[in-house]
Amino acid sequence: MAESFRPPVRDDLVGVASYGAPQLAVPAQLNVNENPFPLPDDLARAMGDAVAAVATGLNRYPDRDADELRARLAAYLTDETGVAVDGDHVWAANGSNEVMHHLFLAFGGPGRLALTFDPTYSMYPEYARDTFTEYRELHRRADFTVDPQLAAAAIAAERPSIVILTSPNNPTGTALPLADVRVIADAALAAGAMLVVDEAYGEFRHAGVPSACVLLAEYPNLVVSRTMSKAFALAGARLGYAAVADAAVVDVLKVVRLPYHLSAVTQAVAITALEHADVLQAQVDLLRRERDALAQWLVAQGYEVAPSDANFILFGRFADRAAVWHALLDDGVLIRQVGPEGWLRVSIGTPEENDRFRAALDRAHGKVSR
Ligand SMILES: Cc1ncc(COP(=O)(O)O)c(C=O)c1O
């Protein structure tokens, strides 16, 4: 190999670090909004059986369009949101990260703009970079909601091809009122833009908070993205999906996906998890209660807490959040330094992990200033 060879890396990728939060084997891993509960034994066994059943057929490529899985995801969404969705209006991929990547491949590109509202999920600029899409963030209000009039004006002026609304938002937990989503959907439709509502944390919303799926019948430009990584406790399986208002969107996503992108193993595992959705939903209820109790506790301790409809809480504010983060880590609790300066984000863990977090934060409080 010639010593002098330098790989011809794209100019915009030179020196760029890869995305990723620390993966540390500490007693309380509360940094990436996973579901903390291991899958129940009977479900794990059912998944093993489902994988064994497809294993002999792994010499063949999988169902390219994942028709059965998409039909089952549609049935689940219908049940969870109360909105009738069918399989032709559902897309599925390896995590909602890949769903988003497909959306950027199909609707972004050179000379096109994606618009969203910060603070928000830090992967969006990476999808934009990968697809040569211009990317812009408008600021959310101090309470982390989106000003719908400001958003509508910006959409009319800047004419993006993709608008992303994250609700509940990461890292703030903020769910947007449906009336505000509607104003933004109207503006996006008038500008000829796709509106992608990222509901990765949708199942954790408080009772009475609707999913943007209720708008699917009204807005042909709407896509509602979901994932099995959070509520379904299936982050390791990598399965995200989206409901689309217009089935033609699925056709174009089939154009940009790589061939046979969803393995037969992934499809079998996801279908089995959907068959046990009720068992996993029980954990979601517990996590919701734990979240609300932890938020109340943080408020009682004098912390500022962003109201959360997700499985995490953004709280603060700290003069030196890095010092608090380190003190917690030294105590076996891994959380995330993310969001505006002074705030920290903690994922909701098991009741024991949440107790451990409370105790560690109390101890950290004695060591570092707020
Ligand atoms: C807002 C949001 N969207 C999408 C994702 C991606 O999830 P996944 O690719 O595991 O489905 C995450 C993950 O944390 C997220 O926070």
Of ligand 1's atoms, which has the minimum distance to the CA of residue 96?
Answer: 11
Give nearest CA residue, ligand 1 atom 13: 200
CATH of residue 315: 3.90.1150.10
| Distance (Å, whole) CA 332 – CA 255 | 46
- Is residue 4 assigned to a domain? no
- Is residue 8 assigned to a domain? no
Give the structural domain span for 264.
43-275
Strand pairing report for 333-334 and 28-29: parallel
Q: How would DSSP label each residue in 296-344?
A: HHHHHTT-EE---SSSEEEEE--TTHHHHHHHHHHTTEE-B--SSTT-E
User: Confidence band (pLDDT; 50, 70, 90) for 282?
Assistant: confident
- Are 254 and 173 within one domain? yes
Q: Is the CB of 133 under 6 A from ligand 1?
A: no
- Are 358 and 251 within one domain? no
Give nearest CA residue, ligand 1 atom 12: 200
Of ligand 1's atoms, which has the minimum distance to the CA of residue 229?
Answer: 10
Give nearest CA residue, ligand 1 atom 3: 200
pLDDT for position 2: 62
Give nearest CA residue, ligand 1 atom 2: 200
pLDDT for position 291: 98
- Are 229 and 242 within one domain? yes
Q: Which two tokens stand for residue 90?
A: 């559902």
Single-letter code of the amino acid located at 156: A
pLDDT for position 180: 98
pLDDT for position 83: 97
Of 221, 247, 275, the position where a domain reaches its end is 275
CATH of residue 203: 3.40.640.10
- Are 201 and 168 within one domain? yes
**Helices 264-275 & 277-300, crossing angle to 10 degrees?**
80
- Are 257 and 286 within one domain? no
pLDDT for position 369: 61
Per-state percent for the chain, helix, strand, coil, to nearest 5: 45, 15, 40
pLDDT for position 234: 97
Q: Is the CB of 166 under 6 A from ligand 1?
A: yes
Alpha carbon of 315 to ligand 1 centroid (Å)? 20
pLDDT for position 1: 59
Alpha carbon of 203 to ligand 1 centroid (Å)? 13
User: Confidence band (pLDDT; 50, 70, 90) for 178?
Assistant: very high
Q: Is the CB of 350 under 6 A from ligand 1?
A: no
Of 275, 305, 336, the position where a domain reaches its end is 275
How confident is the model over 135-158, as a mean pLDDT?
98
- Neighbouring CB atoms inside 10 A of 299's CB total 12
Q: Is the CB of 240 under 6 A from ligand 1?
A: yes
In the chain, the number of structural domains is 2
How confident is the model over 242-255, as a mean pLDDT?
98
Of ligand 1's atoms, which has the minimum distance to the CA of residue 239?
Answer: 11
Q: Which two tokens stand for residue 272?
A: 């089995």
Residue 153 has pLDDT above 90, yes or no: yes
Q: Is the CB of 92 under 6 A from ligand 1?
A: no
Give nearest CA residue, ligand 1 atom 7: 96
Render pLDDT for 206-226 as a digit per residue (tens, 0 to 9): 999 999 999 999 999 999 999
- Are 262 and 305 within one domain? no
- Are 286 and 270 within one domain? no
- Is residue 239 assigned to a domain? yes
Give nearest CA residue, ligand 1 atom 15: 200
Of ligand 1's atoms, which has the minimum distance to the CA of residue 235?
Answer: 10
- Are 175 and 306 within one domain? no
317 preceded by a cis bond (ω within 30 of 0): yes
- Are 111 and 152 within one domain? yes
- Is residue 7 assigned to a domain? no
Alpha carbon of 132 to ligand 1 centroid (Å)? 21
pLDDT for position 366: 72
Name, in order, each residue with C-beta under 8 angstroms of 128's C-beta and a sequence gap of 6 or more. Answer: 104, 108, 114, 134, 135
| Distance (Å, whole) CA 263 – CA 328 | 39
- Is residue 63 assigned to a domain? yes
Strand pairing report for 194-198 and 222-227: parallel
Cα R_g (the chain), whole angstroms: 21
Q: Is the CB of 33 under 6 A from ligand 1?
A: yes
Render pLDDT for 75-94 as a digit per residue (tens, 0 to 9): 999 999 999 999 999 999 99
Single-letter code of the amino acid located at 68: E
- Are 98 and 28 within one domain? no
Q: Is the CB of 116 under 6 A from ligand 1?
A: no
- Are 83 and 176 within one domain? yes
Asked if 195 and 245 touch (Cβ cutoff 8 Å), the reply is: no
Of 275, 290, 315, the position where a domain reaches its end is 275
Q: What pTM value is reported for the model?
A: 0.97
- Best residue for ligand 1 mutational test, from 164, 229, 234, 338 (most atoms within 8 Å of Cβ): 229
- Are 179 and 192 within one domain? yes
Among 18-27, 252-261, 269-278, 296-305, the least confident range: 18-27
